[in-house]
Amino acid sequence: MKNFLHEDFMLKSETAKILYHNYAENMPIIDYHCHINPKDIAEDKKYSNIAEIWLTCGDHYKWRAVRSNGYSEEYVTGNGSDYEKFSAWANTLPKCIGNPLYIWAHMELKRYFGYGGNLNPETADRVWNLCNEKLQNMSAKKIIKDSKVKLICTTDDPTDTLEYHKIIKDDKTFYTQVIPAFRPDKGLHIEKAGFKEYINKLSETSGIEIKDMKSLYDAYSKRLDYFVSMGCKTADNGFEAIPFILEADNSIANDALIKALNNQELHIAEIGIYKTALMLFLAEEYHKRNLVMQIHFGVSRNNSDRLFKSYGPDAGADSIGGYDCIYALSRLLNELDRKNVLPKTVLYSVNPSDNAALVALIGCFQNNDCNITPNGTGKLQHGSAWWFNDNNIGMREQLINLANNSLLANFIGMLTDSRSFLSYTRHDYFRRILCDVIGDYIENGEYPNDVAYLSQIVSNICYNNTNNYFEFGI
């Protein structure tokens, strides 16, 4: 029997141990997709207690677990005290056997607070007091620095002023780059509540009165230029179902936008046509600016009206959708590729059954028209195991699918997709799994035991491929 979280945990073979400890373990981190608030970095936020940085920051993974353990919303997003919420989490965590939350939580306790025991109802007060004492000498910037994070891409709306990115950039004592990522979802989802109000805000921010598709395009183009001037290297786009209903001109899309701005009801086809037109425009604009387009899809959003009403989005009421997006996605990519305006693209599905299909699909559109570093990375990438898949099995399946049908060595690696500054240990979790998967190929005689080349593969996936692909220049 092996001890919990021993130094070789998840590393079954000697090859895996060598690759991890000699190469992957101490590689720096690029977190190219997360939901960290740049304001917290700019102000070097400090936390008064462990619940504040762990639970009330918006970690819906933990919220779902606590609800599943029978707690009322008071102890999740409600009016319960921070201690009460922490206590609910401490009572829940021991039941998370097989859930990555159990490992992540204890990796964070060990890495940042020096606690090597188990969090449970009996140890809750000890952990509470220890963490709160340690937090007095911790801050957002210190955690980032101590975690060896070289660059962070936040997730930012086109209407954001990016004022906090300016403050961070001007801080000459802080060496981690924090750059914005363009996230235009609110303007894409024409069918959702608040769309008209959002377009009015985009008009105000861009200085362009949006009254039709042309003016909408002009507003987005202007905001993209501003984001690029602030160092933006990527644009992220989230969909439930991938839109693709192509029209010869923009007449129906234009009419749909005008109807939405006048609070008129839209038909399903009009919604799809509008989204397709706008997405094709945005993708072409990304290509012009050499931005990486990330597409996350397949999520069924806000399934609980009760939770949405009380908290809003991102409450933990999203699930895997029943959408068949691969064909529409292939048509979207093909339309861009046909016109030679397909940008570098990273594709993520929340549904694990899409893994093989996505790996097969990216192989159809690989080329080097974006002048990616030769022999570096493929133009299209299957993104890391996302959301309901970022667990031991999900990560292994994603890596093995990529290895089986594409080039694992060109993979751009892990991201946190998190709102917590303590989540950088997820990179370590991923690196252990990566080294174990590669180690298995060597131990089984499926690949030569060339440590020099294997170390290059591991180092590239952990860091170098990401740096080259996004052209971060660090």
Please write the tens of the pLDDT for every residue from 250-294. 899 999 999 999 999 999 999 999 999 999 999 999 999 999 999
Cβ contact 153:181 at 8 Å: yes
Average pLDDT over all residues of the chain: 96
Instruction: Report residue 374's pLDDT band, with 50, 70 and 90 as the boundaries.
Output: low
- pLDDT confidence of residue 132: 98
pLDDT above 80 for 125? yes
By 3-state DSSP, what share of the chain in percent is helix, strand and coil, each rounded to 5?
50, 10, 40
The SS3 call for residue 370 is coil
pLDDT at 323: 85
pLDDT(375) > 70: no
| 344: CB partners within 8 A, 6+ apart | 290, 291, 292, 293, 370, 372, 379, 380, 381, 469
Quick: pLDDT tens for 336-348.
Answer: 999 999 999 999 9
Q: Look at residue 231 in the predicted model and tell me its pLDDT.
A: 98
Cβ–Cβ under 8 Å, residues 250 and 234: no
Structure tokens that stand for 232 in this block? 């933006």
Q: What is the largest CA-CA distance in the chain?
A: 67
Comparing 118-127, 318-327, 366-375, 424-433, which segment has the lowest mean pLDDT?
366-375
Q: Which residues contact 125 (CB under 8 A, 6 or more apart)?
A: none
3-state secondary structure of 223: helix
Query: What average pLDDT does range 55-77 have in this prediction?
Result: 95
Residue 293, C-beta contacts closer than 8 angstroms, at least 6 positions apart:
234, 235, 237, 283, 286, 343, 344, 345, 346
What pLDDT was estimated at residue 250?
A: 87
Distance from C-alpha of 108 to C-alpha of 235, rounded to nearest angstrom = 29
What pTM value is reported for the model? 0.96
Asked whether residue 376 carries a pLDDT value surpassing 80, the answer given is: no
Calpha distance 92→121 (Å, rounded): 9
Question: In this model, does residue 421 exceed pLDDT 70?
Answer: yes
Confidence of residue 358 (pLDDT cuts 50, 70, 90): very high
Altogether, the residues listed in the chain come to a count of 474
58 pLDDT above the threshold of 90: no
Residue 430 has pLDDT above 80, yes or no: yes
- Residue 382's DSSP bridge partners are 347
Taking the C-alpha atoms of residue 220 and residue 170, their distance in angstroms, rounded to an integer, is 26
Residues 197-235: tens digit of each pLDDT: 999 999 999 999 999 999 999 999 999 999 999 999 999
Q: pLDDT band for 178, please (50, 70, 90 cuts).
A: very high
Where b means 16+ CB within 10 Å and e means fewer, 79-104 reads ebebeebbbbbbbbbeebeeebbbbb
Distances (CA, A) of 408 to 261, 308, 386, 412: 46, 39, 17, 9
Mean pLDDT in residue range 33-54? 97
pLDDT score of 373: 62
Q: What percent of the chain has pLDDT over 70?
A: 99
User: What is the model's pLDDT at position 219?
Assistant: 98
The string of pLDDT tens digits covering residues 84-110 is 999 999 999 999 999 999 999 999 999
Percent of the chain with pLDDT over 90: 94
pLDDT band of residue 26 (cuts 50, 70, 90) is: very high
pLDDT tens for each residue of 450-468 = 999 999 999 999 999 999 9
